[in-house]
Chains A and B, each alone.
Chain A
Amino acid sequence: MTPPPQSLLPDADVIIYAHKIKVWSVLKEKVRIVVPSVILHKEAIYSETDAEWTQIDLPGQVARGEIAEIGATTKEINEVLSKFDVVAREALHIGELEALALLLSGRAAGALFCSADKAAIQSLALLGLSEQGVSLEGVLRSVGLSRPLQHQYTESYFRRHIGIGKERRIKGEGLANKRLW
């Protein structure tokens, strides 16, 4: 079994879904979770349980030391944007850009970006950071949890879009300066 990541950098959808399938608490115990500042401060995210939406109190969890906040600077965001062409630049939400910026700058060393979004996963590979990403299924498995998941949270979905991202990187699709090899 693959060991759990040192820390996990989840995107908003993963946080919401992990709450929905009731694995967030276990994840928090087993893995250090660092949440990008944009998600923490600017996204009012809710979880759907028993057909009711309740707000997820991420700032409260940070205050209690259950999860940590991590924030990128404007310079780091700019660095990520400079790698992409005009279309790829517009594809991502600032929360996703922040996560990628933290990985690219090395300030989130050891953290794995956990996303279920094809554009974000492909962008990870486009930046040459394929090894710094993980599917929710992969993380759950690494901490000994197994759940039936929606397809976009599965390992196969993640791998498929990492593959597409790698292919795009080779072709230079989405990159500001096309690679020559």
Chain B
Amino acid sequence: MDLPVLIKEAKQGSAAAQKCIFDQLADKMLMVCRRYVKNPEDAEELLLDGFYKFFKGLPAFNYQGEAALYTWLKRIMINECLMFLRKKQAFVIVSETVAETIPLEEEALNNLSATDIFNLIVQLPAGYRTVFNLHVIEGMNHGEIASLLGISEGTSKSQLSKARSLLQKMLLQKNITYVKRSTQ
């Protein structure tokens, strides 16, 4: 069934339509949650919380295409994750104003599979991971990140810089392993 029709029926409270939407989007949304929250059980719980809010707010949602729906749902999930991290005080971000600009090795990342990139990001500490996800993947600027996390822009920049630095090291290690594996 088409997504617009499903949305229309889900708005009217059809459980079947809601289940169809859930089945279509749950996997992707779970991966979004996993990028922010390392623990799979916590991520699953946050997924359900996010979908609950999504279905609750669906009657007021004006459907303008699949991309808009996906963006809205993703934003709900990210907010849930950030609230969870804030509640659990999962990350303590030390305020720093000086940040070196370390360019990300896009080429190296492009050579990696999505699963490898996902595993690298998940290995980052919570603070670095959150800022990296928000800035690089969601495309938010440092002002938005600062207001969302309650930190200064400088701190957001320094966290991103450290995340990149750590990721470079990890990529380097990965490439070495990859080179070693390919030459053996």
Are A and B subunits of one complex?
Answer: no
Interface residues, chain A, with chain B CB atoms under 8 Å away:
none
